[in-house]
Amino acid sequence: MDCWSPVTTDDEFEKLVIRMNPPRVTVDNASSRKATLIKVDSANKRGSLLEVVQVLTDLNLIIRRAYISSDGEWFMDVFYVTDQHGNKLSEDDVAERIQQSLGPRGRSFRSLRRSVGVQAAAENTTIELTGRDRPGLLSEIFAILTDLKCNVVASEVWTHNSRMASVVYITDEATGLPIDDPDRLTKIKQLLLYVLKGDRDKRSANTAVSVDSTHKERRLHQMMYADRDYDMDDADFGSASERKSFVTLENCVDKGYTIVNLRCPDRPKLLFDTVCTLTDMQYVVYHGTIIAEGPEACQEYFIRHMDGSPVSSEAERQRVINCLEAAIRRRTSEGVRLELCSEDRVGLLSDVTRIFRENGLSVTRAEVTTRGSQAVNVFYVTDSSGYPVKNETIEAVRKEIGLTILHVNDDAHSKSPPQERGLFSFSNIFRSRSEKFLYNLGLIRSYS
């Protein structure tokens, strides 16, 4: 008897629809004096908005303003973007690059029930780690990988609310090839899991082998969400004043939407982070307005759950708020920024993070890359005891690692707390702006 899977059938139908109605991308440099207008419209499918925002983010574009509409079977998004320096785009092939990136391809939304995962990719082996953060943890992880003859090619580490998530790309030290031996992978997982558990962590008790690849930063959001870093009952999360809400929710009863208003200091990739979270929580954005033309970003979304219902309980409302605030803070870097650029070698990360640990420094975030033969790494460090990092400590670390290869940049990405203002709803302001724009485009009917 033949069997068929409804999930597989739906996926194949979705791919067929996308092939028949490929995304259309229009780039307009004339309509705005300060930004390039990018319009994307295509057949609607789950994750369409996230896919577009992810592509723009991966192209290192800064989204200054956006209007979103995806009611019905079609969606159209309008983005006002600049390059990293605030200039309009000059590349002639931007539309083609975006359109190629948005072409028909399958996407994996796998379930997450693990704290350590290892998978063999085309050029390297990917290790995924989540666990309770503590001083020296990163040093121990890289030391184990060095002892097991693994070369770290790249890595990204996030910490938030006493939790840590990391994606690490490794190769075999001797061959430079991915590690695919099952016994060796099992040993790597077991030793890393032992380190992650420590003597206090109860959430990192499972291991699993991943079979799909995915976007690194997308994956980090999924991992931290699955690890419940948004829980507010952790004693190490901070005081009530430090948890000042950035997010408000209200229901639009007559239209069946929940309106999410978000206000916080602007930073790169903020839109990507919030859209990731709404997608992971199984919400669909039907309309939205994003304004990020100054030091503060304002985002408004009209959302429903995938089953078509708005947020329906106080517990669900609070969970959405907690998760979005977690998404905002995960990438907000705390501490002194240290930039390391040197000739790459096996064990470099193990040595550098060991020196950090020996000098009482904790790594709150790390970005590790290899460009040819050069290691280009960024670390955000704080004092393990909770006090501000002393200048003499940083200088001692620099002398030990190398004054010419380790540089300090302690204010490039430091984020001050949002100004203390009474919270208010942007709903009426945003509604008038976004709906007028979308109505004029013929995307929605009048709300009057």
The predicted structure's pLDDT at residue 199: 59
First to last CA, the chain: 55
- Tokens representing 206 are 């499972």
HEC-encoded secondary structure of 6-60: HHHHHHHHHHHHHHHCCCEEEEECCCCCCCEEEEEEEECCCCHHHHHHHHHHHCC
CB burial of residue 365 (10 Å; 0-12, 13-18, 19+): buried
pLDDT in tens, 322-367: 999 999 999 887 899 999 999 999 899 999 999 999 999 999 999 9
- Tokens representing 7 are 């999930």
Of 365, 278, 366, 216, the closest CA to residue 48 belongs to 278
Query: What pTM, to 2 d.p., does this model score?
Result: 0.81
The predicted structure's pLDDT at residue 93: 73
The predicted structure's pLDDT at residue 208: 40
CB burial of residue 58 (10 Å; 0-12, 13-18, 19+): middle
> Around Cβ 440, how many Cβ atoms within 10 Å?
9
Beta bridge partners of 288: 68, 301
The predicted structure's pLDDT at residue 205: 37
Of 124, 129, 121, the closest CA to residue 154 belongs to 124
CA distance 11 to 239: 45
Can you list the pairs that 240-244 forms with residues at least 24 positions away whose Cβ atoms lie under 8 Å?
242/417, 243/325, 244/417, 244/418, 244/420
Q: Which residue ranges in the chain fall short of pLDDT 70? A: 1-22, 72, 91, 103-122, 199-214, 233-245, 410-448
